[in-house]
Amino acid sequence: MTEQLRLLRPYLLLLVIFSVARFLMSPLGVPYGRGHHVFSIVTMTAFSCVFYGAFVRRWRGQRLMQAIVLGFILGATSQLAILLMTLLSYALSLETYFNHPIALFLRNRSVQEERLTPEGLQ
Protein backbone atom coordinates (compact mmCIF):
# COMPACT_ATOMS: atom_id res chain seq x y z
CA MET A 1 0.00 0.00 0.00
CA THR A 2 2.83 2.40 0.77
CA GLU A 3 4.30 1.70 -2.66
CA GLN A 4 0.94 2.61 -4.22
CA LEU A 5 0.79 5.87 -2.28
CA ARG A 6 4.39 6.70 -3.19
CA LEU A 7 3.53 6.10 -6.82
CA LEU A 8 0.57 8.50 -6.54
CA ARG A 9 2.58 11.55 -5.45
CA PRO A 10 2.42 13.28 -8.88
CA TYR A 11 -1.32 12.64 -9.05
CA LEU A 12 -1.88 13.98 -5.55
CA LEU A 13 0.05 17.13 -6.43
CA LEU A 14 -2.14 17.60 -9.53
CA LEU A 15 -5.24 16.97 -7.43
CA VAL A 16 -4.27 19.72 -4.99
CA ILE A 17 -3.54 22.14 -7.86
CA PHE A 18 -6.83 21.36 -9.61
CA SER A 19 -8.85 21.57 -6.37
CA VAL A 20 -7.42 24.94 -5.36
CA ALA A 21 -7.70 26.36 -8.87
CA ARG A 22 -11.31 25.16 -9.20
CA PHE A 23 -12.10 26.56 -5.76
CA LEU A 24 -10.72 30.00 -6.70
CA MET A 25 -12.24 30.37 -10.17
CA SER A 26 -15.69 31.51 -9.06
CA PRO A 27 -14.49 34.05 -6.46
CA LEU A 28 -12.19 35.43 -9.17
CA GLY A 29 -15.24 36.11 -11.35
CA VAL A 30 -15.14 33.31 -13.93
CA PRO A 31 -18.77 32.28 -14.68
CA TYR A 32 -19.54 28.60 -14.12
CA GLY A 33 -20.65 28.07 -17.71
CA ARG A 34 -17.32 29.28 -19.07
CA GLY A 35 -14.93 27.68 -16.63
CA HIS A 36 -16.31 24.50 -15.11
CA HIS A 37 -14.51 22.28 -17.62
CA VAL A 38 -11.10 23.92 -17.27
CA PHE A 39 -10.05 22.28 -14.00
CA SER A 40 -12.28 19.22 -14.08
CA ILE A 41 -11.27 16.81 -11.33
CA VAL A 42 -13.39 14.00 -12.79
CA THR A 43 -11.75 14.27 -16.20
CA MET A 44 -8.28 14.41 -14.66
CA THR A 45 -9.08 11.33 -12.56
CA ALA A 46 -10.36 9.40 -15.58
CA PHE A 47 -7.24 10.19 -17.61
CA SER A 48 -5.03 9.36 -14.62
CA CYS A 49 -6.76 6.01 -14.11
CA VAL A 50 -6.19 5.10 -17.75
CA PHE A 51 -2.59 6.31 -17.67
CA TYR A 52 -1.67 4.64 -14.38
CA GLY A 53 -3.58 1.47 -15.25
CA ALA A 54 -1.94 1.09 -18.63
CA PHE A 55 1.60 1.94 -17.70
CA VAL A 56 2.00 0.74 -14.12
CA ARG A 57 1.86 -2.84 -15.30
CA ARG A 58 4.67 -2.26 -17.77
CA TRP A 59 6.87 0.01 -15.65
CA ARG A 60 6.38 -1.65 -12.28
CA GLY A 61 5.49 -5.15 -13.43
CA GLN A 62 2.28 -5.11 -11.40
CA ARG A 63 -0.62 -7.48 -11.93
CA LEU A 64 -4.03 -6.44 -13.21
CA MET A 65 -5.60 -6.49 -9.74
CA GLN A 66 -2.92 -4.11 -8.43
CA ALA A 67 -3.70 -1.70 -11.28
CA ILE A 68 -7.41 -1.92 -10.45
CA VAL A 69 -6.70 -1.16 -6.79
CA LEU A 70 -4.61 1.82 -7.87
CA GLY A 71 -7.51 3.10 -9.99
CA PHE A 72 -9.84 2.66 -7.03
CA ILE A 73 -7.47 4.66 -4.83
CA LEU A 74 -7.38 7.42 -7.46
CA GLY A 75 -11.16 7.59 -7.64
CA ALA A 76 -11.66 7.50 -3.88
CA THR A 77 -9.08 10.24 -3.31
CA SER A 78 -10.71 12.45 -5.92
CA GLN A 79 -14.15 11.98 -4.43
CA LEU A 80 -12.78 12.77 -0.98
CA ALA A 81 -11.16 15.96 -2.33
CA ILE A 82 -14.44 17.01 -3.98
CA LEU A 83 -16.36 16.35 -0.76
CA LEU A 84 -13.87 18.30 1.36
CA MET A 85 -13.82 21.26 -1.03
CA THR A 86 -17.64 21.30 -1.10
CA LEU A 87 -17.80 21.29 2.69
CA LEU A 88 -15.16 24.05 2.80
CA SER A 89 -17.23 26.12 0.36
CA TYR A 90 -20.27 25.84 2.60
CA ALA A 91 -18.26 26.42 5.80
CA LEU A 92 -16.78 29.65 4.41
CA SER A 93 -20.11 30.70 2.83
CA LEU A 94 -18.47 31.12 -0.56
CA GLU A 95 -20.04 30.48 -3.92
CA THR A 96 -17.57 28.24 -5.69
CA TYR A 97 -17.78 25.67 -8.45
CA PHE A 98 -18.07 22.98 -5.78
CA ASN A 99 -21.41 24.26 -4.45
CA HIS A 100 -22.80 25.79 -7.64
CA PRO A 101 -26.46 24.79 -8.21
CA ILE A 102 -25.73 23.25 -11.61
CA ALA A 103 -22.88 21.18 -10.18
CA LEU A 104 -25.15 19.89 -7.41
CA PHE A 105 -28.11 19.31 -9.77
CA LEU A 106 -30.25 21.83 -7.90
CA ARG A 107 -32.72 23.15 -10.43
CA ASN A 108 -35.87 25.12 -10.14
CA ARG A 109 -38.72 22.76 -9.27
CA SER A 110 -41.17 24.56 -11.58
CA VAL A 111 -38.86 23.99 -14.56
CA GLN A 112 -38.81 20.25 -13.85
CA GLU A 113 -42.58 20.08 -13.42
CA GLU A 114 -43.06 22.01 -16.67
CA ARG A 115 -40.98 19.45 -18.53
CA LEU A 116 -43.08 16.61 -17.16
CA THR A 117 -46.39 17.97 -18.41
CA PRO A 118 -47.65 16.94 -21.86
CA GLU A 119 -47.39 20.56 -23.00
CA GLY A 120 -43.73 20.66 -21.94
CA LEU A 121 -42.94 17.55 -23.98
CA GLN A 122 -43.99 19.14 -27.26
pLDDT band at 119 (very low <50, low <70, confident <90, very high): low
Q: What angle do CA 79, 85, 86 make, to 5 degrees?
A: 90
Check whether 117 has a pLDDT greater than 80: no
| All structural domains of the chain with their residue ranges | 2-121
pTM of structure: 0.78
User: What tens digit of pLDDT does each residue of 101-115 get?
Assistant: 777 777 654 444 445
pLDDT of 101:
79
User: What tens digit of pLDDT does each residue of 32-89 get?
Assistant: 888 888 899 999 999 999 999 888 888 888 889 988 999 999 999 999 999 999 999 9
Task: Count Cβ neighbours within 10 Å for each residue of 2-35 and write b for 16 or more, e otherwise.
Answer: eebeebbeebeeebeebbeebbebbeeeeeeeeb
